[in-house]
Amino acid sequence: MDHAIVAHSLTKRYGRVAAVDDVSFEIAPGEIVGFLGPNGAGKTTTLRMLAGLIRPSSGAGTVLGRGVPGPSLRDVGTMIEEPSFYPYLTGRDNLRHAALLHGGVARERIDEVLAFVKMEAAAEKRVRAYSQGMRQRLALARALLWRPRVLLLDEPSNGLDPVGIAEIRENLRAVAREGVTVLVSSHILAEIEKLVDRILAIEKGRLVFDGPLSRLLARAESLTLRYVLRATDPAALEAAARTLGLVTERSADLVTVEVPAERADDLVSDLVAAGVRVTEAQRDQDDLEDAYLRLVQADARPA
Amino acid sequence: MSGFVQVVRAELFKVLRKRRTYVIAGLWWGLLPALGLIIGRLVYVNLGASFANEAGGIDVAVQQIASPFGLARIALVGPAYLAPTFYIIVITLFAALLIGEERGHAMWKTVLVAQPQRFAVMAGKIAVAMLALGGLLLGAAASAALLGAIGMTFLPTDWSGEWGTLAGLFALQWAFSLTGVLFAFLLVFLFKNMVLGIVTVYFLPGLLEGLYSIYAATVGFQPVNRLNVFFQTIALQQRLEDIPRYFYTANAYAPARAPVSELLAGLASGGADIPPDAISQLLGSSITLPHAALVMAGYAVAFGVVLFWRFARHDVE
């Protein structure tokens, strides 16, 4: 079976700095793969190389069996970094311009993709009046315009509120059900964990994990998680957390605690049982990402 | 080929939705011939019945300025005598729209995925700029003729004139504009700051040519001195003295400037003898059209090669 996407020793150097360093992976047709890594890890550079926008310093990429840049990119839809449009054109005219540029896109298809991302009502407004969420949805519509067989999406839910993130996720699920191969990057695992089956993790330009999400999640069970807590009496909260044997840090009225993952579910009830009125508890996402990355580094496959 | 056609269709779609296209058209098609008509009318009303028109000189002058042919000729000549010329202003505005804004709005990453054939993308954009310029030139000639026809109802003018020659000069000036388009596209593409790119398009050729002229005037190539001894040694003095004839700005508007001596001679007629060469020298229209065509073709090849080469290798960051 031909792979939909192949990266073969992709490397991009800027002077002596390797933004992407010898990255190789293969993605089968119809697969939905998450591309995870912190900001600056090399995700966008890798996606740009696969989209034919920048030339690798060495190595090669193929999409749908043909080298990029090349004609196979006509079957690729992309959202790379911030969604960009001609602000003086309406949403519909931006799609029409892209359709003309690509060729072979029927006018009805524009209505279809606008309906798919629920943008029909705003289609006649100039893009300069769009919110970030509307721009993201219009960018997805544009990426789908020519019925691509491969989607390369770079942080598609960046800057969106939870409702917007859920909408984008739903849209991508619907796209994936049609057999489109999707490579979607994020620096927040929680954003893509409900969407993808496989994770590629990259850090400092090197691929450090390539495997199923389940393996990553299983390994994460042994992690220590950080929670940020708020209580009516922060001092009492801090004392109770110490009594429970948790590493604790206090900053003004917020208390940060480190708790083993297996005890996380009971954290709030334990504190309440200790007489603390907890008013807010939030998992520290960034810390979770750090923990994942530490984990995947340990699991890094041989180069 | 299909990629090229798709780019042309898409970029035309964009150009036609840009307000500045219509502002340029309004200025060129409306303002310039209207001014010619008003001046013609003022001259005729104030001097037509005076002693100055005894030999018919004022009637001839009005015909030169405000007849359909006169206005059409002004639509060609007038824009070539602004500084920077209206031609390069228009070309640069299209360069800003078709090239500069792609960077400004971060659209290259979208354009080059929708249409990955980079040669087709750049060729298509150049073609659209040329089509737009062609449309503007054609419209300028047509609107001038139309206003001139209206002027015939209240001015002593008629349709006479060398229309074939004028049409040829319009076509030639349009063809020459390709070099300007390549030059403007190149600089606007190379400079990350679009405004800087535009300013450079306006002033770089004049600056370089001015510096050269200052050097030639103050230091010169003869007699031998410390600053030109190298040129003396390699016996290039004659070539260096000839260099201004190969300057971009000296040749870029040759077709538009070609009728200026005929125009001025016409204005002064009533018969005054003005040596055409003197006027031509004065107004920078002494370059012959075949010479200018060769020079501009050379510049076009140079600018085009660098532009396509840089664009093909450009990393869209």
Q: How far apart are CA A266 and CA A244, in angstroms?
A: 11
Say whether the ipTM exceeds 0.85.
Answer: no
Tell me: pLDDT of B283 over 70. Answer: no
My answer on whether omega of the bond before B223 falls inside 30° of 0, hence cis, is yes
* Contact predicate A71/A158, CB 8 Å: no
**Tell me: the pLDDT tens digits for A219-229?**
666 667 788 99
Tell me how far CA of residue B179 lies from CA of A169, B176, B309, in angstroms: 49, 6, 16
| Minimal C-alpha gap between A303 and chain B (Å) | 27
| Minimal C-alpha gap between B105 and chain A (Å) | 6
Residue B166 sits at the vertex; the CA angle it makes with B79 and B294, to the nearest 5 degrees, is 75
- For B17, which residue in chain A has the nearest alpha carbon? A89
SS (H, E, C) chain B: CHHHHHHHHHHHHHHCCCHHHHHHHHHHHHHHHHHHHHHHHHHHHHHCCCHHHCCCHHHHHHHHHHCHHHHHHHHHHHHHHCCCCHHHHHHHHHHHHHHHHHHHCCCHHHHHHHCCCHHHHHHHHHHHHHHHHHHHHHHHHHHHHHHHHHHCCCCCCCCCCCHHHHHHHHHHHHHHHHHHHHHHHHHHHHCCCHHHHHHHHHHHHHHHHHHHHHHHHHCCCCCCCCCCHHHHHCCCHHHHHHHHHHCHHHHHCHHHHCCHHHHHHHHCCCCCCCCHHHHHHHHCCCCCHHHHHHHHHHHHHHHHHHHHHHHHCCCCC
**Helix-helix angle B32-47:B118-151, to 10 degrees:** 20
Range in A109-123, A274-288, B143-157 with the lowest mean pLDDT: A274-288
CB count in 10 Å sphere of residue A107: 10
**pLDDT for B268:** 64
Q: How confident is the model at residue A287 (pLDDT cuts 50, 70, 90)?
A: low
Nearest to A76 among B6, B105, B113 (CB): B113
Mean pLDDT of A67-91: 90
**pLDDT for B35:** 87
Nearest to A86 among B107, B113, B114 (CB): B107
Mean pLDDT of A214-239: 80
Flag whether residue B4 sits within 8 Å of chain A, measured between CB atoms. Answer: no
Q: How far apart are CA A263 and CA A240, in angstroms?
A: 15
Instruction: Tell if the CB–CB gap between B109 and A55 is shorter than 8 Å.
Output: no
**pLDDT for A163:** 83
Mean pLDDT of B145-164: 91
b/e burial code for range B12-27 (CB count within 10 A of at least 16 → b):
bbbbeebeebeebbeb
Instruction: Tell if the CB–CB gap between A52 and B112 is shorter than 8 Å.
Output: yes
Percentage of the residues of chain B whose pLDDT score is greater than 90: 49
| Interface list for B 31-90 with A (CB within 8 A) | none
Residues of A in contact with B98 (CB under 8 A): none
Q: How far apart are CA B205 and CA B214, in angstroms?
A: 14
Residues of A in contact with B96 (CB under 8 A): none
Q: How confident is the model at residue B82 (pLDDT cuts 50, 70, 90)?
A: confident
Range in A212-216, B142-146, B261-265, B288-292 with the lowest mean pLDDT: B261-265
Flag whether residue B123 sits within 8 Å of chain A, measured between CB atoms. Answer: no
Nearest to A48 among B3, B18, B316 (CB): B316
* Residue that wins the pLDDT comparison between A10 and B210: A10
Residue A260: both structure tokens together:
């083993």
Nearest to A51 among B17, B113, B313 (CB): B113
Instruction: Tell if the CB–CB gap between A97 and B101 is shorter than 8 Å.
Output: no
Flag whether residue B109 sits within 8 Å of chain A, measured between CB atoms. Answer: yes
Instruction: Tell if the CB–CB gap between A84 and B112 is shorter than 8 Å.
Output: no
Flag whether residue B103 sits within 8 Å of chain A, measured between CB atoms. Answer: no
Tell me: pLDDT of A104 over 50. Answer: yes
CB count in 10 Å sphere of residue B135: 15
**pLDDT for A47:** 96
Residue A196: both structure tokens together:
């993808």
Flag whether residue B106 sits within 8 Å of chain A, measured between CB atoms. Answer: yes
**pLDDT for A303:** 38
| Minimal C-alpha gap between B109 and chain A (Å) | 7
Across chain A, what does the average pLDDT equal?
87
Q: How confident is the model at residue B41 (pLDDT cuts 50, 70, 90)?
A: confident
For A17, counting Cβ atoms within 10 Å of its Cβ (0-12 exposed, 13-18 middle, 19+ buried), the class is exposed
Tell me: pLDDT of A288 over 60. Answer: no
* Contact predicate B172/B82, CB 8 Å: no
**pLDDT for B266:** 67
Place of tokens 């196979």: A72
**Closest alpha carbon to A46 in A67, A69, A73, A19:** A19
Query: Residue A240 CA to chain centroid, in angstroms?
Result: 37
pTM: 0.83
- For B7, which residue in chain A has the nearest alpha carbon? A101
Residues of B in contact with A98 (CB under 8 A): 10, 110, 114
Residues of B in contact with A76 (CB under 8 A): 113
Nearest to A84 among B5, B19, B110 (CB): B110
